[in-house]
Amino acid sequence: MGAAAIPGARPGNYLMLEVADTGMGIPPDVIAKIWDPFFTTKGAGKGTGLGLSTVRGIVAQHEGVISLQSEPGRGTTFTVLLPAAPGSETGSDPGGLLAVPLGQGELILVVDDDTSMREVTTATLSGHGYRVLSASDGPEGVALFAPRCLEIRAIIADLHTPHLDGVALLRIVRALNPSVRVILVSGSADTKKPRPEKALAATFLHKPYSGETLLRTVHQLFNETPAS
């Protein structure tokens, strides 16, 4: 969809986000009022009617536009257009993901109880030539690692996974395969405590990390000289 097709959009490059469902759709008389503050179809005390007007205001503050298309009985699609930063046009990737060498099918285990972080990490690695297994906690990670301990080349584990934290997980997997490479990650801002990963010869990444940072770290991990 071109920007010109959406009222209020100015010429230029945009990033487009669409959210769609296959529900009941929205009747035309409701669509006419859907952006109005305090308008709601919910019963008394069950809705403020501020949700969509707030979203529209946030998008407008970023010089973007939002629109919707709905057909009764077939669902609704919301489209958000946000101005793209200069140099972010399709096909340009200065110093970004395309500059990082592709993986060669190395198998990596990702252990993180943060579902969104685990899925993004898995998708980033899979899309760059790596094979990936994923686990939501330490025990599940051990269960996946044990039968394939010699095949799994690296582990990316959160320091604070439930039931078995990253450090304990690292000790177990190193007992099974001393040469496995490890990246420990954490979103904790506590920098006063000593980092246990240093004593355990693991690389550290601070959340949230970019896809480029992740891929460069993994590439360096596989291409560094093993510690004696």
At 58, which CATH number?
3.30.565.10
Q: Is the pTM of this model over 0.75?
A: no
At 186, which CATH number?
3.40.50.2300
Tell me, yes or no, whether 89 lies in a domain: no
pLDDT of residue 131: 94
**Per-residue pLDDT reduced to its tens digit, 59-83:** 887 778 888 888 888 899 988 888 8
Tell me, yes or no, whether 58 lies in a domain: yes
Nearest to 129 by CA among 221, 218, 8, 7: 218
Q: Are residues 117 and 189 in the same domain?
A: yes
Q: To the nearest 10°, report the CA torsion of 205, 211, 215, 216.
A: -70
Domain that holds residue 219: 97-223
The DSSP call for residue 3 is: G
Cα gap 100→222, rounded to integer Å: 13
Q: Are residues 73 and 161 in the same domain?
A: no
pLDDT of residue 173: 93
Cα gap 41→92, rounded to integer Å: 44
Which of 83, 111, 132 lies at the terminal end of a domain, its last residue? 83
Domain total for the chain? 2
How buried is residue 31: exposed, middle or buried, by Cβ count under 10 Å (0-12/13-18/19+)? middle
Please determine, for residue 127, whether its predicted confidence score (pLDDT) is greater than 70.
yes
Which of 51, 83, 115 lies at the terminal end of a domain, its last residue? 83
At 157, list the tokens: 């584990």
Name residue 106's amino acid: E
Q: What does the pLDDT average to over 53-58? A: 81
